[in-house]
Structures are given as structure tokens and as C-alpha cells.
Amino acid sequence: MSQPPNLTPTETSAAAGQPGRLKGGAITSLGAAVMAMAFMGPAAAVTFNTAPGAAKIGLALPFGIVLAMLVCLIVAYTIGSFSRKLPSAGFAHTFNTAAYGKGTGFVSGWILLISYGCVGSMLFAAFGAFGSDFLETEFGWNVPWWIMSALIMIAVGMIGAAGISSSVKTSLIFLVLELGIILALFLTITGKGGAEGNSFAPFSPGSSLTGLSGIGFGMLWGILMFVGFESAGTLGEETKDPRRGVPRALFIAVILVGIIYVFSGYAAAIGFGAGHVNDLAADASPWTTLSNSYWGTNVAWLFALTVLNSQFANALAGSSAGVRTIFALGRERILHPSLGTTNRRDSPVAAWVAYMVFSAVLTFVLGALITPLGVYSFLGSLLALGIVILYILMNLGLPRYYRRQFPAEFSMLRHGVLPVIGSVLMLLPIYGLLWPVPDWPFSLVPYILLVWVVGGTGYFFYLRANHPERIEAMGRVWEPDADPAPGPLGDRV
């Protein structure tokens, strides 16, 4: 891409509104893994996903999480295989464009947009509710939830807009703190033998409260715990040696945090005990109950503070991934071109502003209608369904891509059988979400996603008819010092 004389690419991007570049080599594979793990938000995920996940699967919650981990490892391999050839902030949008063509790639980016668009709002709302309750319980301060939500929005926006390096450093500090505290609680519960002694019953599918549907539903919320690991794929342009660094980051995130999630499911199951499994499913804050029971009320506040810590890191990392999706779509002029520009520090500030404004509107409007914790569960369901569909599309697209573009590297086992197995397993959480039909407003989730996809498909046909150059430009891979000539990997810019 040519530049006017005496202007660097970033100066041109900011001054003339041309497509920007993210800062290449800004972070290592470990940094990418930290962002992915922070996006997963271990303490927040465990706190808010345990009760919904146990609602149908009950005591077998850790079994559902093991299945979710297996699926996510397969998806990690799929994303890593794509990233070795297509390191791009576009992630699923870029991958599925290369695998299927422009139409499916466009719809994939469209689904990713609404999925990651839910992340900020659900976490800001949950932080507001949990933070307000924490201040009321510990200090007697009556601070409305929306003030707490607004404060975290401002902090996340300021740190995120400062650049990816600032986000990684902040996320690492918060991640280390939260992992230490939650592991200490899990070890305390298991060390004391739980309510009825340690048992392997939680790893038996026969312990599911509602059979196969329960396992599928437990998997869905297990996958929701893992959502965020794939965001390492959005950091391909900013990671050193992305063809190796991104796959490495994906596996580090899934394996390390996955072990913690399985441990959490087991600790929750035995902590309540088989005789009180319904209490686990019905408890709106099971980990508060467990920390009070096993640590005592004088120390349990530490776990609550850890959850707030986790929500902040989760919101920062999750918003960063959402912003990069907006940036990538803006750079390809699917969204407004100004959203695809960067400032002189290679930060997509315009995309950050757009994301935070959208998140604020969604948080406060839905929070007033269905309560802030209702926002978390509702948008979490929408996020999970969208992401699972993208996981399936990427899995099935991997063999298509490698057979056509890299036949010499194609492996029937690694690029064919494993992705298909992963896709079949992911039908279970979809089934668990849709049947039996959930209560309102959760029954609206599949229809909202359907309307969004139909609208995006119509927008695709509009662009193809009126701006074909934008559709033609889809799927480019933006790498530092890359040859701009098109090649077997798609157009390099």
C-alpha cells in the first residue's frame, strides 16, 4: 500500500483516514496467552457460570467442563492451524473467507461482531451488580450498580486505548492475583473433603440431573467459561512470530485455565455434596456460599474482591478483542472506514470509542429492563451460541482450506477427523440451549441471532451490488513487512 512522501503508515492512517496497522511484534506468545486467559476471566467465569451450568447437569458439572475443554482444545488446534497461514486481527472473518468464500466469511465476521459486542456489556453490568453488593455488604455504602459499571467502563476504555502493551501488563497483574485466590479456595474445599467426602461421582455422565440435555447444557456453560481463549487469534498482527506464537498462546490458555475450571467444577460439586445438588443449581451465588462455609465470613470477602479483580481483567481483555473485530471490519470498509484507523501509537482509538459507546447503551438499557445480572446471563447465552457456531464453521472450514491451498501439508487426522469430532460434540451445547425451550427472555436468544444473521446477509448482498470492491478486498492479511502481492494465502497488505 503506497504512502505519501515523508509520512509513516500510522501518521497517514490518523491524518488521512487510511487503513491503519496495529503495532507488529508488540507482545510475545506469552503476552497473547495472558490476554486470552484474562478474557476467559477464571474467577468471574467460575463465579457466574457455575450455577447456570449446574442447573441441568447438577453434580456432573466437572464432566461437562471436561467435554468443553476437549472441544476447545480441538478448536485451539483449528485456530492455530489457520493462524499459521493467516495471522490477522480479522480472526474468524479472515479464516472463513479463505475457507469458504466471501459470503460465509462476511457472515462469520458479522456473527463475531455481535458475539464480542456482548462481552463488554455483560461484564460491565455484572461488575456493577457485584461491586455494588460488595460495597453494601462490607462497608454499608449504597452505591448504585450503574455508577460502578460506568467507572469500570472509563478505566477499561482508557487503558485499552493506550495500546496492547498496557493492556497485557495490567491483565497479567490481575490474572496472577485471581488465580492464586481461587486455587486456595478450591484446595481448601477438597482438602476438607467437601460436604460428604471426595468422590469421582462428579465425573460420571450418569450424575447429570436431566440426562443428555443436561450434559449438553453443562457443556454450553463450560464453553462459555472458555470463551476468550480464541481471542489470541485476533492478536496475530501484534504478536511476535505470529505463525508460531498464536498457536502456542491458544494451547497455553486452554490447558492452564482448563485445568482450573475442571478443578472448580469438582470443588463446587463436592462442596455442596450429592445430597444438596439442587441447592447448588438454585444458589445465585454458590461461591459466596462456599467461601462462607469453608473460609468463614471473616475471610470470604477476599473471594468477592477477587471476583471484582477478575471481572476487570476480563472486561479489559474481552473489550480488546471486540475492538479488534470492529477495527478489522472497519479497515475492510464493511463498517465505517474511520473505525479501521489507528493513531500514532498504533492504537485503534476510533474502534475503542465506538465499542465503549455501544457497550454503555446496551448495559444501561438492558440493566434497567432485566437487572444487571440478568444482562450477564442473557448476553452470555447469545455470546455462547454465536461463538459455538463460529467454532463449528472454522472446524469444518479447516479441511477445505488446507486441501485446496496446502495439499502437501494436509493431514486427514489433524485437519479432517479432529475438527469433525469437535463439531459433532458442539451440537450438544446447542441442543442443551434450545431444548427444553428456556424461559423468557432466554427463549429470544436464537431468534435474535437469526435476525442478526439475516440482516447481515442482506447487507452483504447490498455491498456486493453497490460496492463490489469492498467484498473483493475481504480476507486480506495485514502483516508488517509483507509483500503486497497476492499469493496463495490471499492478498497480503
Residue 18 within any structural domain of the chain: no
**433 vs 221, residue with greater confidence:** 221
164 inside domain: yes
Looking at the predicted structure, is the pLDDT value of residue 277 above 70?
yes
Please tell me which residue, 431 or 457, carries the higher pLDDT value: 457
User: Is residue 398 assigned to a domain?
Assistant: yes
Q: What is the pLDDT of residue 481?
A: 45
**Domain with 366 in it:** 26-472
pLDDT band of 373, cuts 50, 70, 90:
confident
Domain CATH for 305: 1.20.1740.10
Hey, what's the cell of 258?
A: 482448563
Give the per-residue pLDDT at 179: 83
Task: Specify the pLDDT at position 399.
Answer: 92
- Average of per-residue pLDDT across 284-313: 82
Assess whether pLDDT exceeds 50 at residue 51: yes
Establish whether the linkage from the previous residue to 436 is cis, with ω within 30° of 0: yes
The residue that leads in pLDDT, 22 or 185, is 185
Q: Name the more confident of 57 and 233.
A: 57
pLDDT band at 287 (very low <50, low <70, confident <90, very high): confident
Average pLDDT along the chain: 81
453 band by pLDDT with thresholds 50, 70 and 90: very high
Percent of the chain clearing pLDDT 70 (strictly above) = 85
Which of 384, 399, 382 has the alpha carbon at shortest distance from 445?
382
Provide the β-strand partners of residue 148.
none
Please report the pLDDT score of residue 476 as a whole number. 64
Q: Residue 235: which pLDDT band, with cuts at 50, 70 and 90?
A: low
**Dist CA 124 CA 44 (whole Å):** 12
User: Region 286-314: what's the mean pLDDT?
Assistant: 82
Average pLDDT of 321-326?
85
Residue 489 in any domain: the answer is no
Which string of b and e fits 379-400 if b means at least 16 CB within 10 Å? bbbbbbbbbbbbbbbbbbbbbe
Average pLDDT over residues 209-229: 81
The answer, yes or no, to whether residue 364 has pLDDT greater than 90, is: yes
pLDDT band, residue 25 (cuts 50/70/90): low
- pLDDT-derived band at 124, boundaries 50, 70, 90: very high
pLDDT of residue 30: 73
Structure pTM?
A: 0.76
pLDDT (tens digit per residue) in 127-177: 899 899 889 888 889 999 999 999 999 998 888 777 666 666 676 777 788
Q: How many domains does the chain have?
A: 1
Q: What is the mean pLDDT of residues 61-65?
A: 90
Does 484 map to a domain? no
32 inside domain: yes
Checking if the pLDDT of 423 tops 80, the result is yes
Whole-number pLDDT of residue 199: 78
Is residue 4 assigned to a domain?
no
Is 6 within the bounds of a domain? no
Give dist(CA 421, CA 399) in Å, integer. 13
Confidence at residue 492, expressed as pLDDT on a 0 to 100 scale: 33
Least confident of 58-67, 164-173, 364-373, 448-457: 164-173
HEC per residue, the chain: CCCCCCCCHHHHHHHHCCCCCCCCCCECHHHHHHHHHHHHCHHHHHHHHHHHHHHHHHHHHHHHHHHHHHHHHHHHHHHHHHHHHCCCCCCHHHHHHHHHCHHHHHHHHHHHHHHHHHHHHHHHHHHHHHHHHHHHHHHCCCCCHHHHHHHHHHHHHHHHHCCHHHHHHHHHHHHHHHHHHHHHHHHHHHHCCCCCCCCCHHHCHHHCCCHHHHHHHHHHHHHHHHCCHHHHHHHCCCECCHHHHHHHHHHHHHHHHHHHHHHHHHHHHHHHCHHHHHHHHHCCCHHHHHHHHHCCCCCCHHHHHHHHHHHHHHHHHHHHHHHHHHHHHHHCCCCCHHHHCCCCCCCCHHHHHHHHHHHHHHHHHHHHHHCHHHHHHHHHHHHHHHHHHHHHHHHHHHHHHHHHHCCCCCCHHHHHHHHHHHHHHCHHHHHHHHCCCCCCCHHHHHHHHHHHHHHHHHHHHHHHHHCHHHHHCCCCECCCCCCCCCECCECEC
8 Å CB contact between 344 and 7: no
- Residue 80 confidence (pLDDT) above 90: no
In the chain, % of residues over pLDDT 90: 20
* More confident position, 242 or 180: 180
